[in-house]
Structure formats: C-alpha cells, structure tokens
Amino acid sequence: MWKYLKSREFWLTVAGLFALGIVCFFLTFYLILPWYTKHGETVTVPDIVRLSLEDGKIRLEENDLKFEVRDSAFHPDIPPFTIVSQDPPPLSKVKPGRRIFVKVNRKVAPMTTFPKENVKNVSNYQAKMTLERFKLTVDSIEYVPHDFRNVVVEVKFKGKYLKGGEMLPEGSRLTLVVGKGLGRQRIPIPELVGMSYTTAISVLHEIGLNIGNLRFNPEATDAKGTIYRQNPAYSLVDSLFLGEPVDLFIAGQEPDEALELPVAEEEIIQEE
C-alpha cells in the first residue's frame, strides 16, 4: 500500500483528479451557472396595468417574462379581466424569465349586505358615508314631502325599497329617498332650457323637485348635453307640488353608463 502511495502512477492519478476538479469548477461557476441564472442580464418590467389579461401576457412574453394571476378584485368602472396591479412594479429590473404576478378585475361583483344599521332618519350625507363603508354607491336623490329636510326616508335599488340585511352586488347604485320639508308646498317651475343636464338636475334638487324622465335626442341641434325642452314647461304662473317630477329632453346621445347624478351633502334642517 505504502509502495503504491509513493508510486508515480498514484501521483499521476491525484494530479489528474485535481486538474479535473479545476476544470469542473470553472465549467460550473463560469459557464453553466451564469448560463442557467443569466448572471448579469436584466430586463425592464413593462407597465401592464389597465391592459387586458391577453395583452398583458403578450407584453410580458415579448420581454422574456412570465405571467401568473395571483389575485382578483372588483372595480365597477374598469372592464372585466383588466389587470389592476402587478408585482414587481413597472420599470423594475429583473432577470429574464422572471414570473410577474398580477391582480385582475372580476367579471362579476362580489356580494355585500345592505346595512342593518340605521341609514334612515339620518342626513343624506350620513347615509352616504354608511353605504360607502359597505361598498355601495349613492347614485341619485329623490325628494318627497316630509316634516324634516334632508332626512333619509327610504333607500331604493332599481326602483325597489330595500330592507336591512338584503344582499346586493358591490358598487350597486342606490337612490336615497329624502325629505324636503312639509307637505303641500308649491314650487315655481324653473326655466331649465339651455342648461347642461347636470346643472338642471342640481337646480331641481335644490328647489325640491324630482327628476322625471331623461330623454336623449342625438338629432337635436342644440349643444350636446344641454336641455332643449322640459315638461312641464317654464311658467311664471304655474307651479308644482314639492317632490313632483320634471321631464328633461337632452340634446345628444345617451351615455353608455348610468348618469352620475349630483348628490347633495346637506345637514338635517327642520322645516320652519
């Protein structure tokens, strides 16, 4: 044994193994690992927020990046399957082949509860704040005769009066039925022709009249979005009872989405 350890053949074997180890070391750390990990190479993460899933995936693949949906959310004003956030964020420097995690907008809204806590007999502002905590939206106000001004009497969804505990899609647009003072008060008919429809609606709310039918006419020659006719017509003599509706005829095409009607944020005021 000792004779072999001292032999030339043994030392040639040791030298060969040592040389092989050095070769393997350089191959591993200077060729194989850099190739596998793409050492020193980076790509810039593109901004794919607000893109569709398909377009976002294509954009990442063009930059040698991978794509994975990690979470979802619901935003009523964004199209379904739109990317709403990404991780890592845009302009980050990452290695090629890195997986980018995205959050997408749901097609169907999750459900929420119409609050059992009191949204009646409070100011419309307080009711609005409560409903927003439940991810519900106040879309419009309907006025009715009541002993107190700006007190919420009922809440409606698509014309139906709501009860506490009912389930609604998040983002549902609700109507507050709000008191506008005592009973049979007469209101002069305002002149709304020539106003924008948002201004006309604000005027009706302010004086205690309700919005009737909104009729859009794309063939009207008046400026788009303005009132070219009202029913009943403006009169210095005639008047309406508090809470009665006024129909508005509007120049231009009807919007694709529901109108965002102005919402008053007044405090409770007892009618004198």
Q: Dump pLDDT digits (tens) for 204-233.
A: 877 878 888 889 999 999 999 999 999 999
Q: Exposed/middle/buried for 74, CB within 10 Å: 0-12, 13-18, 19+? A: middle
**Ordered structural domains, the chain, with CATH:** 44-105 (3.30.10.20), 111-270 (3.30.10.20)
Query: CA-based angle 142:147:152, to the nearest 5?
Result: 40
The pair of structure tokens assigned to 125 is 């502002």
Low-confidence ranges of the chain (pLDDT < 50): 260, 262-272
Residues 6 or more apart whose CB falls under 8 angstroms from that of 63 comprise 43, 44, 45, 46
- The pLDDT, as a whole number, for residue 270 is 35
For position 77, what pLDDT does the model report?
Answer: 79
Helix (H) or strand (E) holding 53: helix 53-62
pTM for the predicted model, two decimal places: 0.47
Q: Is 12 exposed, middle or buried (0-12, 13-18, 19+ CB in 10 A)?
A: exposed
Q: Write down the pLDDT at residue 267.
A: 37
> What pLDDT sits at residue 153?
85
